[in-house]
Structure 1
C-alpha cells in the first residue's frame, strides 16, 4: 500500500487522568510540546492526508497540528472514550475521502519514527490490518485497510481498536523497538529513558 494513497488519524483527545490536571500533550518534552513530536514525524512522511482528533476548545493543541499540515477534527465528547474518538475520526475522513487505508497513531507516543509508517504499509499485504508490536504488546501505530472502516466507525467506549483485533483478520504484526512504542502517561514518563 502506498503512503500517498492513505490518510492518517492521530488521536489527541484523551483525558490524561494519570497525568494530573494539565493537558499532557502540551507538556514540555525536549523543549517542545509533547504532541509536536508525533506531529513532526508524521509531517515528514508522504502520507496523503493528515487528520487529528482534539478536544473541543483546545486551541493551543489544535495549533500545533495545524502548523504541521493536519486537518483538525474537534471532539465535543472526549469522555466517550478512545473508541468513540476513533470512530468519529474515521467517519469524518471517509465522508470526504476514499483512502486505501487509514493509519492510526496516538499523540502521546513521541518516539515513533517515520519509517515505521512506511514499514507498516509494506507489511500489510493482503491483511486487513498491520499493527506494531514490541513482542509484549500489540499497539498503535497501525494501518487499517478499507475493509475495516465500517468496523472502526462502529466502535464505542474506551477500548479503541482492541475491540476488533482478531475479529476481522488477518492481521500483520510489525516488530518495532520498544522505545519507539513508549507512551507518556505520567509526568515521570517525560524524563524516563533520556
Structure 2
C-alpha cells in the first residue's frame, strides 16, 4: 500500500497497491519527487516526450526489468497517476532534497526486506530494461559511468543500505555513495543512455515539448 512521509495519505487503490510484508530478491525504485527548479513552471516529469509523460519512460524500463517488485518515490498525485500500473508508491513532501528521496528509497527497500535495490531517476528517459539487466547481473554494489561521469542507476545490496542512506546529503542523493565505488563496479554506458532532463531545452533535444 502507498505510504506517505508527509502525514496521512489517501488509501491506495487499484493496481498500484501491493503487499509489502513478503521479502523480495530485487526491488526497483524510481526517484520521481524532484522539484524541477531549473525546468520552469510545471513538473518536468509530466512533460510530454514522444507521446508519454517523461516519467513514464524510465518507469516502464524499470517495470520491464527483472525486478520482482517496482516502487516509486513521488511528491505529487499527478506523477503517481502517470506511472504504469503495478508500482508501490511512497510519498515524500514536495520540494524536498534529492537526499530525502534517496533515503526514502533505501528505507522502502529495507521495509520490503529486499536483498538488493535498483534505484533509477525519473528524468532519465533513455534508460532501457536491457541496460538495467546488465546492472542486475552484477553481484556487488554498482552504478554507471558515461564520458567519465559517474551516475545512476545504482544497484545496492542490503549490506550497504545503511551506508548508502547515511551518505545522502542535500541535493547529492546517491552521488557520494557512487563516488566511492571502485572503478570495476561501474557499468560504462553511452552518452545517449545517460541523458537526463533538467531544462526545457533538454526535453526538446530528446524529442519532447509542450
Partner of residue 85, structure 2: 68
CA-CA distance at 1:88 after TM superposition: 1.5
Match of 1:111 among 123, 126, 141: 126
**Which residue of structure 2 lines up, in the alignment, with residue 33 of structure 1?**
53
Cα RMSD (Å): 1.9
* 1:5 and 2:30 matched: no
Which of the numbers 149, 154, 175 marks the counterpart of 2:188?
175
Residue 110 (structure 2) pairs with residue 94 (structure 1): yes
Residues 35 and 94, structure 2, Cα contact 8 Å, conserved in 1:
no
TM-score normalised by structure 1 residue count: 0.86
Partner of 1:162: 175
The alpha-carbon deviation at position 165 of structure 1 amounts to 3.3
TM-score, normalization by structure 2 = 0.80
CA distance in 2, matches of 1:148, 1:182: 27
Q: Name stretches of at least 5 consecutive residues in structure 2 with no aligned partner.
A: 1-23
Runs (5+) with no aligned partner, structure 1: none
1:45 CA displacement: 1.8
CA contact (8 A) 1:109 1:182 kept: yes
Select 1:151's aligned residue among 143, 151, 163. 163
Contact 1:131/1:171 (8 A) holds in 2: no
CA distance in 2, matches of 1:106, 1:177: 16
Classify 1:23/1:179 alpha carbon distance in 2 versus 1 (closer, same or farther; 3 Å): same
Aligned residues, how many? 183
- Measure, in 1, the Cα distance between the counterparts of 2:73 and 2:81: 12
Give how far 1:83 is off.
1.2
SS in 2 for 1:104: strand
Map Cα deviations across residues 71-121 of structure 1 (whole Å, 9 max, x no partner). Answer: 110002533x111211122113312x2222111100000010101111012
Counterparts of 2:165 and 2:55, CA distance in 1:
24
Tell me the residue number matched to 1:121. Answer: 136
Q: Distance in 1 between matches of 2:128 and 2:26?
A: 17
Q: Deviations over 1:25-70 (max 9, x none)?
A: 0001111111111111222223111111111xx21210122x3311
